[in-house]
Amino acid sequence: MNSDSFDTLVIGQYQQEPKPLDIAGSLKQLAAQLEQAKHWGVQLLITPEMAMTGYNISANEIDEIAEKSDGELFNAVANLCQMHSIAVVYGYAERGENNEIYNSVQLIDHTGASILNYRKTHLWGDLDRNLFSSGDVLSPVVTLYGWKIATAICYDLEFPETIRHLTIRGAELVVVPTGLMAPYSEVAQQVVPVRAYENRIFIAYTNYCGAERDLNYVGCSSIVDPNGLVLASAASDPILLTATLNRSVLKTAKDALPYLTERRPELYGALT
């Protein structure tokens, strides 16, 4: 199924209320969404930042639930991917090689194989810095159903260099699990379409809704095309969004505004 002949990709993203520390409940919720997504022909389902473990939790709590990228949580999600034949991007607390903890996302394909694991590189405020170590490498670009896919996590997207780097590496779709809270809705409503437009790529920005302890999430999840047009969007309630991505839109957008081929990197030394 990873043939380069796939010209379309059906993606889904679940804007959910958080379930802090309730991994069993998160897995049950994921299973239900996969069942619904399968009826809609979804090939890739995306969940928010730290969706399986909860985000706004204490350092002691996160230390208790963090696990290796190939631990029990991975096995449970991989089984669901195999059962429904749908790939999944999920957020979780990852325990690293030296016992450090990362805010991570993992992409498991429809066969249950991990093809991408990424650790958040740009930590946001005390919320992130008190809980996580920062990743030191941007997402790889991997192939799923013939599409070149990469990921970023929440605050990463707010640095234009991050998404431009992934685009230069060949990404056609960047999935962005996020935990955007009030009062920063302009990131979802304004920055996300700009990132898609200036890089001529698809972006799937997948947020929480509702509250988690003292955080109030703004929702506003969206799937945006390379022209900056919103293909699907959410308000502030739980919802499963879907959209069909078409590779012909990528080519038309890149031909119309060839930002990448007309770059002049020799002038941008300070950025590198």
**CA distances from residue 262 to 130, 155, 195, 198 in whole angstroms, order as listed:** 41, 27, 17, 12
- The C-alpha angle with vertex 181 and arms to 178 and 184, in degrees rounded to 5, equals 100
CATH 3.60.110.10 for the 8-271 domain, yes or no: yes
**What secondary structure does DSSP assign to 56-104, as a single string?**
S--HHHHHHH-B-TTSHHHHHHHHHHHHHT-EEEEEEEEE-TTS-EEEE
154 included as an active-site residue? yes
pLDDT tens for residues 150-197?
999 999 999 999 999 999 999 999 999 999 999 999 999 999 999 999
CA 5/CA 162 separation, integer angstroms: 28
* pLDDT-derived band at 2, boundaries 50, 70, 90: very low
Q: Is 191 in a helix, a strand, or coil?
A: helix
Confidence of residue 146 (pLDDT cuts 50, 70, 90): very high
Q: Is the pLDDT of residue 1 over 70?
A: no
Active site residue 120: yes
Confidence label for 6 from pLDDT (cuts 50, 70 and 90): confident
Catalytic annotation, pick one of 49, 94, 172, 212: 49
Question: What pTM value is reported for the model?
Answer: 0.96
Q: Residue 4 has what pLDDT?
A: 45
Residue 24, φ and ψ in degrees, nearest 5? -60, -45
Instruction: Write down the catalytic residue from 19, 81, 120, 172.
Output: 120
Q: Cα separation of 219 and 178, whole Å?
A: 10
Q: How large is the average pLDDT for residues 6-23? A: 96
Q: How many CB atoms lie within 10 A of CB 16?
A: 23
Q: Which residue is catalytic, options 19, 94, 148, 154? A: 154
